[in-house]
């Protein structure tokens, strides 16, 4: 049984701490059950289940720290793992950035656990995939997809009395539908905490429609275009930007948040005033951990307000060095969720198209890699449904493009934001962006 409740976790953690002889000891106990099913060429190819329960001990003598892990839970094993961590600590070099452990804190209760998602079985997954396969077969199309669900818990206790516990569920589904000729392709990818929100049949129909409508793509010249990015494409481009709101790298001069001549750009208007970004572990659509691995609370934080950068995440060590307050970043650990949330309006993708004189609709991006860490210029390609828009209507599918663009520049060129939806570990609106830079064409379907 990999999912322990709060009392069960607390009992094991207390027992582990009772064996400690170190100056400071921190113990983490995490468990996860996950299952998946994969299919391709309209048939299931693999399926699996994994169950893990792991205990990690971190022991410190002064500034020397040792870590050890174990997945056996009898008393002798628990004593052994503590002894091993302490032995490694005595041998370890001093860590000049060591920070004393935090004491107790009143962490908010996490809201990310949905029993029906945790209760999914191989049969549940197979039935959901059967729905997807039916759509593809009925339409004489070919589907390849992946469905994965997980339930997990995290807990932590230290020798200063801190105890934290949280549990979470997640289910994600993606499917690529292609036509038999290989000239059209569509894709959807959605994640939820609650499996009740996942409709594999409807999502596969969306991908199938894209596959059919993207066939026969025309080549148009690369260049700068107004683009409408569906939320998936937006999250491909922007999902990582929130990690850049970080104090230390900004202070060190190696971040887009670094200021010429020294210092940071905190408080500056870096983006269009329509841009508002925050994170909130208690957001119902994107719940996350309410504490991080350092024992700090993770709370709702505004990162960008009306285009102005309002906060930078900061570790306890760096905060002490700079004489400022530490601030936990979003996420808070290995659970998904708790990530970037960007506000928007009420417009749908269709509404954004209606208001566009000339532009390109992008379903998703692919193989995005950083080109320049200073400007965050990235390169990548459109994929699985790219369309030309004229006078408020989709006119025809177009060949895929390679882009070279910075999300910072993108967020300065915002024309309109639609209604936000969850995409992976972000909540983002569909967005209309002017002057998006496409640099070459691709023949890939």
Q: Which of residues 17-56 bind another protein (CB under 8 A)?
A: 36, 38, 40-41, 43-54, 56
Among residues 190, 206, 156, the alpha carbon closest in space to that of 427 is found at 190
Token pair belonging to 212: 């059919």
The residue written with tokens 């491909």 in the block is 236
Identity of the residue, 229 or 352, whose beta carbon is nearer to another protein in the bound complex: 229
Distance of alpha carbon 50 from alpha carbon 363, whole angstroms:
32
# residues contacting another protein (CB under 8 A): 84
426: contact with another protein by CB under 8 A? no
Nearer to another protein by C-beta: 384 or 416?
384
Q: Is 64 in the site for another protein (CB under 8 A)?
A: no
Q: Which residues contact 197 (CB under 8 A, 6 or more apart)?
A: none
Closest contact distance (angstroms) between CB of 294 and another protein is: 15
Burial of 361 (0-12, 13-18, 19+ CB in 10 A): buried
Helix (H, G, I), strand (E, B) or coil at 44: strand
* Of 59, 86, 120, 146, the one binding another protein by CB under 8 A: 146
Residues 101-140 that bind another protein (CB under 8 A): none
> Which residue, 44 or 108, is less far from another protein as judged by CB?
44
What residues pair up with 189 in beta bridges, in sequence order?
Answer: 174
Q: Are 353 and 389 in contact (CB under 8 A)?
A: yes
Best CA proximity match to 13, nearest among 166, 159, 152, 168: 159
Quick one: 178 or 422, whose CB is closer to another protein? 178
Closest CA to 315 of 327, 301, 332: 327
Q: Among 227, 161, 195, which residue's Cα sits nearest to residue 403?
A: 227
Based on the shown chain and the rule CB under 8 A, indicate whether residue 325 belongs to the binding site for another protein.
no
CA-to-CA distance for 175 and 190, rounded, in angstroms?
10
Q: Does 92 engage in binding with another protein (CB under 8 A)?
A: yes
The answer to the question of residue 306 lying near another protein (CB under 8 A) is no
Which residues within the stretch 231-270 sit at the binding site for another protein (CB under 8 A)?
252-254, 256, 258-262, 270
Subset of residues 176 to 195 that bind another protein, contact rule: CB under 8 A: 176, 178, 182, 187
CB of 297 to another protein, least distance (A): 25
Please choose, out of 5-13, 308-316, 336-344, 366-374, the segment that lies near another protein by the rule CB under 8 A.
366-374
Which residue, chain included where needed, has tokens 């945790």? 118
Which of 108, 220, 377, 394 is in the footprint of another protein by CB under 8 A? 377
Distance CA 60, CA 164 (A): 20
Stretch that binds another protein, among 151-159, 211-219, 275-283, 362-370 (CB under 8 A): 362-370
- Rounded to whole angstroms, how far apart are CA atoms 372 and 362? 23
- Binding span for another protein by CB under 8 A among 142-150, 151-159, 292-300, 351-359: 142-150
The single residue among 6, 15, 84, 197 that binds another protein, judged by CB under 8 A, is: 84
Candidates 16-24, 82-90, 103-111, 299-307 — which segment interacts with another protein by CB under 8 A?
Answer: 82-90
Asked whether the beta carbons of 177 and 342 are under 8 A apart, the reply is no
The reply on whether position 100 binds another protein by CB under 8 A is no
Q: Which one, 2 or 111, has the nearer CB to another protein? A: 2
Interface with another protein includes 442 (CB under 8 A)? Answer: yes
368 contacts 382 by C-beta, under 8 angstroms = no
Residues 147-166 vs another protein: string with x where CB under 8 A?
-x------------------
Nearest residue (CB) to another protein, 285 versus 435? 435
Complex with another protein: residue 147 or 341, whichever CB lies closer: 147
Residue 206 in contact with residue 232, Cβ under 8 Å? no
Q: Which is nearer to another protein, 15 or 419 (CB)?
A: 15
386-425 positions binding another protein, by CB under 8 A = 400, 402, 404, 406, 408-409, 412
Consecutive H or E run containing 150: strand 141-158
What gap in Å lies between CA 384 and CA 379, rounded to an integer?
17
CA-nearest of 268, 351, 271 to 310 is 268
Q: Per CB under 8 A, does 334 bind another protein? A: no
Alpha helix (H) residue ranges in 92-155: 115-118, 122-138
Does 73 interact with another protein (rule: CB under 8 A)?
Answer: yes
């Amino acid at each position: 049984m990999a999912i322990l409740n709060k009392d069960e976790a607390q009992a094991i953690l207390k027992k582990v701490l009772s064996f400690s002889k170190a100056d400071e000891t921190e113990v983490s106990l995490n468990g996860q059950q996950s299952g998946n099913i994969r299919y391709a060429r309209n048939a299931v190819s693999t399926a699996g289940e994994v169950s893990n329960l792991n205990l990690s001990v971190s022991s410190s003598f002064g500034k020397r720290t040792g870590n050890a892990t174990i997945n056996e839970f009898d008393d002798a094993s628990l004593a052994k793992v503590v002894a091993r961590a302490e032995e490694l600590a005595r041998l370890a070099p001093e860590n000049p950035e060591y920070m004393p452990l935090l004491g107790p804190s009143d962490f908010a209760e996490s809201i990310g656990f949905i029993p029906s998602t945790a209760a999914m079985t191989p049969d549940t997954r197979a039935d959901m995939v059967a729905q997807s396969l039916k759509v593809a077969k009925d339409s004489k199309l070919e589907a390849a997809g992946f469905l994965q669900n997980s339930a997990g818990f995290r807990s932590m206790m230290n020798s200063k009395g801190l105890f934290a516990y949280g549990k979470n569920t997640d289910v994600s589904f993606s499917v690529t539908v292609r036509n038999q000729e290989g000239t059209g392709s569509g894709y959807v990818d959605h994640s939820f905490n609650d499996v009740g929100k996942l409709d594999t049949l409807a999502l596969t129909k969306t991908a199938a429609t894209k596959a059919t409508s993207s066939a026969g793509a025309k080549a148009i010249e690369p260049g700068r275009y107004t683009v409408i990015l569906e939320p998936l494409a937006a999250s491909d481009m922007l999902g990582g930007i929130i990690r850049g709101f970080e104090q230390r790298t900004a202070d060190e001069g190696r971040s887009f948040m670094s200021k010429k001549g020294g210092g940071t750009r905190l408080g500056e208007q870096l983006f269009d005033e329509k841009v508002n970004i925050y994170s909130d572990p208690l957001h119902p659509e994107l719940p996350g951990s309410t504490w991080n691995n350092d024992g700090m609370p993770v709370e709702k934080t505004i990162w960008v307000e009306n285009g102005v950068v309002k906060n930078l995440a900061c570790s306890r060590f760096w905060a002490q060095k700079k004489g400022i307050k530490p601030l936990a970043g979003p996420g808070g650990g290995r659970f998904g969720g708790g990530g970037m949330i960007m506000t928007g309006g009420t417009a749908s993708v269709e509404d954004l198209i209606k208001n566009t004189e000339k532009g390109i609709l992008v379903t998703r991006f692919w193989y995005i890699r950083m080109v320049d860490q200073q400007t965050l210029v990235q390169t990548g390609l459109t994929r699985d449904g790219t369309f030309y828009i004229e006078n408020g209507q989709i006119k025809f599918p177009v060949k895929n493009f390679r882009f070279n663009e910075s999300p910072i520049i993108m967020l300065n060129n915002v024309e309109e934001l639609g209604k936000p939806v969850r995409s992976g570990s972000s909540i983002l609106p569909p967005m209309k962006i002017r002057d998006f830079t496409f640099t070459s064409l691709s023949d890939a379907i």
